[in-house]
Amino acid sequence: MGYDFSAQRQQLMTQLQHSGIHDPRVLHALTTVPREQFVDTSLHTMAYANQALPLLLGQTISQPLMVAVMTQALHLTGNERVLEVGTGSGYQAAILSLLAAQVYSIERHVQLSLQAAEHLKSLGYLNVELLVGDGSLGWPEHAPYDRIIVTAAAPYAPAQLLAQLHFGGSLVIPIGDQTLQDLQIIQKVEGGTQTYSLGRCVFVPLVGEDAWQ
């Protein structure tokens, strides 16, 4: 008999609501996507713990609260085209796939991208396209995007990501050094950008031409 995740999943949803996650579509997506399918089998019993978990190659699957905060900050209605930088396990992409029209996701590690593709396909999340490449340069072929989400820490907002964002769109990105960052919403407006802070966070570094070398 398989492990019963239902009680842990419901407990996590309660924690997220108490932490300020109020968008019903975001909560539903987090309830629907099986996080246990995106972590190593040795970590299945911790799949719904509210903490980041290790992946291959020194990467992580983000804490569920951080996934929820970043996703809620995108204010998705279901019609958007979203670029994700940092595919990782594919879990965040799966969440986005339920909330947006189309998701494009970039990962610099081939092995992680291949595993994510396998997970997403097997679970039926078919409105996600993956690319192995330098996420700091975005994915110009499909630009412009209504929303961009970066799941790795950058020293600043990469210029190419801002250039590939629609006017009126928003970029959610952790910015800071490699030990502590500020999670920011950067909205592209007439004449420039407006930036809002969502608070402190800790992510693995964004490595690329327009990020950490």
Q: Is 29 helix (H, G, I), strand (E, B) or coil?
A: helix
Specify whether 62 is catalytic. Answer: yes
Angle between helices 64-73 and 24-32 (to 10 degrees): 140
| Beta pairing, strands 145-150 & 128-132 | unpaired
Residue 72 contacts residue 42 (beta carbons within 8 Å)? no
- Closest by CA to 173, choosing from 143, 145, 203, is 203
Which of the residues 6, 19, 42, 62 is marked catalytic? 62
Cα separation, 10 vs 43, in Å, equals: 18
Which residue blocks in the chain are alpha helix, DSSP H? 6-18, 24-32, 64-73, 91-97, 110-123, 159-163
Q: Specify whether the backbone of 109 is left (phi greater than 0), alpha (psi in -120 to 50) or beta.
A: beta
- Closest by CA to 66, choosing from 103, 140, 12, is 12
Any idea which residues carry the catalytic annotation? 62
